[in-house]
Structure 1
Amino acid sequence: KQRRFNILVYGGFGLVLAAIITAVAVVVAGSVQQRNAAAEAAKRPIDGIQAFANLSRNHVQEAVDYPQQPGVGGDHSSVWTNCGIYTDPVNEQRAVHSLEHGAVWITYKPGLPAADVAKLTDLAKAKPYVLLSPDKAQSAPVTATAWGAQVVVQDAGDPRIPAFIGAYAQSPKAPEPGAACTGGTNG
């Protein structure tokens, strides 16, 4: 009787332990697959990106008329815009300085539906090198900008936006990746 009892108790315990180990292994494997898929997606080219080269990097006091909207680089303010989420437009020359530091600037046309602004806010939240603001001068619904790169999208849910953030936030392609995106000014 004792032997049968021991077999049932230890056998049952062994089965429960095996089930727990299997469940943990499945969760870990799924997590690894998700990370690998995200890493592979970040390596793929993002459709529609425009690249701009030979951008100047001078600090200037006067206003700059950028050929792109918003500006992707070039002369800019000596003070940068702190990365974060803004509900009012920010100073373009300061935001371009943030791009020099490796920031990604997501801009949207004023009047974008609140649900779309909420999607963009969720993307920008808790990302230390992302700026989000409306831009009165742009005609496209949403634009993602980094130093020397830009993609225009029609939908705030476009998967190219998070891919762009993953590819360009703190990218070594920025002139000063790792420079602060705080300690500047708000707006």
Structure 2
Amino acid sequence: MGGPHDQYWATCTGTVYPDPIRTENVVHSLEHGAVWIAYDPQKVAGDEVSTLEAKVDGQPYMLMSPYPGLPSPISVQSWGHRLALDDSEDDRLGQFITALRRNPTTHPEAGATCSTTAGSFDPSAPPPFDTSAPGPDAVPMTGGPQSISAAPTPEPSFEPGHG
């Protein structure tokens, strides 16, 4: 949801990633004002994935990827905010996107791009997904991120690991 991250942001130009991507790169995208929809591929499939893709595909400052092992089927993040959902048709998903995507009062790098350049993050060959614990140099985000949960279990932290 925020905090230390990789120097290269994940391309967030309405990009739908078919495979899980590193949170270290996604967190940098969130810093630029993007909204990330993550879903557990064991809990969300078929038409539900298509519904989520329709909200992301081609939309600036949006990205989506599977994230195995989420406690809720769907988790939506912006810098400092998270919403856990059980259903892709939940009205709060659109409200979250409308309220927080590119909202200059909610992320540190207002006006930063979501496109990437050669030699930075390659969306066709992103760095490998890694769920290991953060390295010793990782510092947790301060400033009170907000989490809104529709599920009874808390979401895992999307703070970056090492990298």
TM-score (norm 2): 0.69
Deviation at residue 137 of structure 1 after TM alignment: 3.6
Q: Secondary structure at the match of 1:107?
A: strand
What is the root-mean-square deviation of aligned Cα atoms in Å? 1.0
Q: Does 1:86 align with 2:17?
A: yes
Q: Does 1:128 align with 2:60?
A: yes
Question: Which of the numbers 154, 157, 160 marks the counterpart of 2:86?
Answer: 154
1:62-77 equivalences under 5 Å are: 72-77=1-6
Count of aligned pairs: 116
TM-score (norm 1): 0.60
Counterpart AA for 1:178: G
Counterpart for residue 37 of structure 2: 106
Richer in helix (by share): 1
Give 5+ residue unaligned stretches, structure 2: 127-163
Ranked by relative contact order (alpha carbons within 8 Å, sequence separation 6 or more), the top structure is 2
Counterpart AA for 1:99: L
Q: Once superposed, which parts of structure 1, at least 4 consecutive aligned residues long, lie more than 6 Å away?
A: none
Counterpart for residue 113 of structure 2: 180
Quote the Cα distance in structure 2 between the aligned partners of 1:91 and 1:137: 14
Quote the Cα distance in structure 2 between the aligned partners of 1:78 and 1:126: 24
Counterpart for residue 140 of structure 2: none
Identity %: 37
Q: Secondary structure at the match of 2:96?
A: helix
Richer in strand (by share): 2
Q: Which of the pair has more CA radius of gyration?
A: 1
Give 5+ residue unaligned stretches, structure 1: 1-71
User: Deviation digits for residues 65-100 of structure 1, max 9, x if unmatched?
Assistant: xxxxxxx00110000000111110011100000000
